[in-house]
Structure 1
Amino acid sequence: MKSEKIGLVLLFSAVVLSYSVYGQDIKKDTILIRDLSGPNSVSQQMKQDNTSKGLFYIGAGLDSLDQAKKRFYNKTGFIMNADYNSQIMGATKAIGDNVSASGVLRIYGKYNLVGRGTPNEGGLVFKVENRHKYTDLPLREWGPEGVGYIGLVQSVYNDDGWRVGNLYWRQTFAKANIIAYAGFVDVTDWADIFAMASPWSSFNNLSFATGTNTFGGLYPDGSLGFMVSAWLTENIYVIGGLIDVNGSATEFYKGFDTFFTKFETLKTFEVGFTTNSQMPILQNLHVTFWQVDESAKTPKGWGVAGSMSWEVGHKLFPFLRGGWANDGGSLFTASVSTGIGYNITGSNVFGLGLNWNQPNKNIFGPGLKDQYLSEIFYKLQVTHHFEFTPNIQFILNPALNTNDNFTTIFGARARINI
């Protein structure tokens, strides 16, 4: 407990000191920062919130609030958004409940305190959530326990209650070509980045997200650690990060104790290539390596993931992604995903994905069949502040269902943000 208190005092002192020195800086954002974070990150989510355009206009009330928040940000460097997310899924064949539903309230934003509008910009990034279930099983647990599918049909809708997913300092260096995070971070914000990896607005199944379910899904967010990304040339970048595998977003402050006393960590390193200087995840090739130490939560292990995704003609977005793991507590030993997106930079997005995977026999035992799945979704931006996403998943050989070889999952997701 002593180390936790010391860590919190140091974090608070850094914020106060930074504000006292730089708090009067009210410059607007004028520096191009080539962001290498994925669509889950606070910065990317806020960009999406600001640029989406709905099919219907329902009045100027929330639009006026948007403009007021922008004016306040220009004066102070502080901006905050909030959203509420709901999801329901039902399976035609199951080993438990056929239906599951969950909801998530999120409050997220940033407070730029240092050098706003300069190449050396720094500030706090935060995200606080309340994740809760509507049914007996939340969606994250429903895949294995309800459907009998080894994997996560939805990775973020659990029953954690209140949690802190992000609370870190973000700093740019070297003409904004280097970005560093330090604090309570989420490894999926930077590892194996992919434009359609967000379970809030894109594919639901984790097989189409970080590591194609060969790593990332079982490692904590809101965990103490750091990340550094750097542009080596105009087209080549590297990203490295380290987090505490014993961290917990529901008790994030305990990370000061587990990180420094146990030092059991997950390390990631990625090297990538892009031709798009402003939105690098739209034309992207990369390879990601990871290694995890043995802990009470995970066995030691390592693995590699690769991704090729390339926007064609400002509309089509084909992708091919895969991963392989040597244990480390991964759900899959091997996994390959391919598919296509349409209009992914627009407000209405279509996605189709196919996946093959091999469950990890060290966790689930030998003799399990390979699993195959497909997911289709269509995100409809109804208004600027409301989106609705029907989706469907087809699963062949759900490994934990010994009675049925095929199941279909129908789902609907809704999100409202302010």
Structure 2
Amino acid sequence: MKSEKRGLILFFVAVVLNFAVYGQNQKKDTIKIRDLSAPSSVSQQMSKDIASKGSTSKEIFNRWSGLDSLDQLKQRFYKKTGFIINADYNSQIMAATKAIGDDVGASGVFRMYGKYNLVGRGTSHEGGLVFKVENRHKYTDLPLREWGLAGVGYVGLVQSVYNDDRWRVTNLYWRQTFAKANIVAYAGFLDVTDWTDIYALASPWSSFNNLSFATGTSTTGGSYPDGSLGLMVSAWLTDHIYVIGGLIDANGTAKEFYKSFDTFFTEFETLKTFEVGYTPNYEMPILQNAHITFWQVDKTVNAPNGWGISGSVSWELGNKLFPFLRGGWAKDGGSIFTASVSTGIGYNITGSNVFGLGLNWNKPNENLFGTGLKDQYLSEIFYKLQIVPHVEFTPNIQLIINPALNTNTNFTTIFGARGRINI
């Protein structure tokens, strides 16, 4: 059985690399890397941080705080050495009108993230290390990742990243570009949400909180591993069509990332993803994007094997409005939902201040949470406000109809507030 699995994996990688080789024949006059990573990935997060600090209307604050000089110093050092590092602190609180346990939850996360380009800096074959180290901690008895289920009775994640892992290594991998930057490969300790089913509002740090509006609309199995040993390859087949394939250790954990070396090669239980996408937007492909994502996960001690499919259409209109329609379906694999559909809009999507409104229908996985559960309906509204450079504040509201594990009510409202300070 193990040899059969290894054969399937080798076939999967061969298919991805075959697409990649074909992509090398597509000639371009530029070596600009068209990033196919999620908004919460290290590269995208750092790009957004730089953009948010460029407002001339905030010059007085920058000069007063001294952070403007620090930003310029870091950029000069990066141009000279290829090394740059950022840090931020994120804090969030949520309160529910109807709950089965604690009606308030709160958590915080400290992050250090950056990159060190060591090979071919500024060329089409650039390579280097990407890293992200975090300390995730709770303020209340339940961290927010667990609070939605145990406190509110909602089957799902009202916030997916605010747990109580403490120190963890979420990313530590080598990133390499090939073929005039049409091909990008990651190898090392990865976060599957950095490339799987991405779109512009997928970041739980700055956009929607609920996982139903992010990767796989909560239908992807394998528990969304991060800090796990794996490989990802993305390739542009033409100016407008791309493919992304990934393979990652399904048993990996960011708290003890180094153990993934052992589980990957001894257990060889993996989560595989493969995506085909289209965009007419050459410069920013996630702003006008349609794709289909397939996934399959092997059986582990925590979940059965399974597979599924998700799809997404998100399209910027007039440089401000951003409607989206996304959905997913799963057959086992430990997914939270077996079916889910989300739609909504974002406004001023490329600006510092962003408004988002989303609607979701989902069907909880009865193999995980029990039979006879009602379908859940969800709406979330948020407004990310760039108060000054380096400081964000995001109030948000989630309206939940039929929280599946809360038999005392058919409706609950969650009020939240999220803050972020970055340097």
The Cα of 1:297 is off from its aligned counterpart by 1.9
Whole-Å separation in 2 of the counterparts to 1:124 and 1:216: 28
Indicate conservation of the 8 Å contact 1:206/1:217, yes or no: no
- Tell me, in whole angstroms, the C-alpha distance in 1 between the residues paired with 2:358 and 2:190: 28
Corresponding residue for 2:17? none
Mapped pair 1:104 → 2:113: no
Counterpart code for 1:49: D
Aligned match of 1:290 in 283, 292, 295?
295
**Superposed counterparts of 1:224-303, under 5 Å:** 224-303=229-308
Correspondence 1:59 to 2:62: yes
Identical amino acids, percent of aligned pairs: 80
Query: Which aligned pairs between 1:7-406 and structure 2 lie closer than 5 A?
Result: 31-53=31-53, 56=58, 57-60=60-63, 61-215=66-220, 218-406=223-411
Offset at 1:305? Answer: 0.2
CA separation of 1:207 and 1:340: change in aligned 2, threshold 3 A: same
What is the identity, as a one-letter code, of the residue corresponding to 2:38? G
Matched AA of 2:306: G
Secondary structure of 1:146's match? helix
What is the deviation of 1:31? 3.4
Partner SS for 2:62: coil
Deviation at 1:278, TM superposition (A): 1.0
Q: What is the CA distance between 1:366 and its match in structure 2?
A: 1.4
How many correspondences in the alignment? 389
Quote the Cα distance in structure 2 between the aligned partners of 1:172 and 1:212. 30
Provide the TM-score with structure 1 as the length reference.
0.92
**What is the letter of the counterpart of residue 41 of structure 2?**
S
Structure 2 letter corresponding to 1:267 = K
Unpaired runs of at least 5, structure 1: 1-29
What TM-score does the superposition give when structure 2 sets the normalisation length? Answer: 0.91
**What letter corresponds to residue 372 of structure 1 in structure 2?**
Y
Q: Write the distance in 2 (CA, Å) between the matches of 1:363 and 1:51.
A: 42
Partner SS for 1:106: strand
Amino acid at match of 1:103: G
- Matching residue's letter, 1:45: Q
SS in 2 for 1:67: helix
After superposition, give the CA deviation of every residue in 1:356-399 in whole Å (9 maximum; x if it has no partner): 00000111121100000000000000111000000000000000
Code of the residue aligned with 1:373 in structure 2: it is L
Q: 1:217 to 1:199 in 2, by over 3 A?
A: farther
- Determine the C-alpha separation between the residues in 1 that align with 2:332 and 2:97: 32
Question: What is the CA deviation profile of residues 309-366 of structure 1, one whole-angstrom value per residue up to 9, with x for unaligned ones?
Answer: 0000000000000000001000100000000000111000000000000000111121
CA drift of 1:217 comes to: 7.7
1:15 aligned residue: none
For residues 25-60 of structure 1, give each alpha carbon's deviation from its aligned partner in whole angstroms, at most 9, with x where no partner exists: xxxxx9300010010100000000000156754232
Structure 1 pair 133–396 and aligned structure 2 pair: CA distance change class (3 A): same
| 1:238/1:271 contact within 8 Å kept | yes
Q: Contact 2:124–2:179 at 8 Å: present in 1 too?
A: yes
Hey, what's the Cα distance between the residues in 2 that align with 1:119 and 1:352? Answer: 38
Q: Which residue of 1 aligns with 2:412?
A: 407
Where 1:367 maps in the other structure, the secondary structure is coil
SS at match of 1:256: helix
Runs of 4+ in 1 over 6 A off after TM superposition: none
Letter in 2 for 1:58: F
Q: Which runs of 5+ in 2 are unaligned?
A: 1-29
Q: Does the Cα contact within 8 Å between 1:124 and 1:167 map onto a contact in 2?
A: yes
**1:76-115 CA deviation, whole Å, 9 max, x = no partner?**
0000000000000000000000000000000000000000
Instruction: Give how far 1:301 is off.
Output: 0.2
Show CA shifts across 1:221-259 (max 9, x none). 010001000000000000000000110100000111000
CA 165–404 in structure 1, closer or farther in 2 if over 3 Å, else same: same
SS in 2 for 1:255: helix
Q: Contact 1:210/1:217 (CA < 8 Å) preserved in 2?
A: no
8 Å CA contact 1:188, 1:216 repeated in 2: no
Q: Is the CA contact 1:34–1:280 (under 8 Å) kept in the aligned structure 2?
A: yes
Conserved? CA contact 1:210–1:216, under 8 Å: no
Aligned partner of 1:7 in structure 2 is none
CA distance in 2, matches of 1:111, 1:325: 38
Contact 2:221 2:332 in 1 (8 A): no
CA distance in 1, matches of 2:339, 2:134: 32
Instruction: Please say if residues 388 and 415 of structure 1, whose CA atoms lie closer than 8 Å, have aligned partners that are also in contact.
Output: yes
How far the C-alpha of 1:197 sits from its partner, in A, is 0.4
Helix, strand or coil at the partner of 1:326? strand
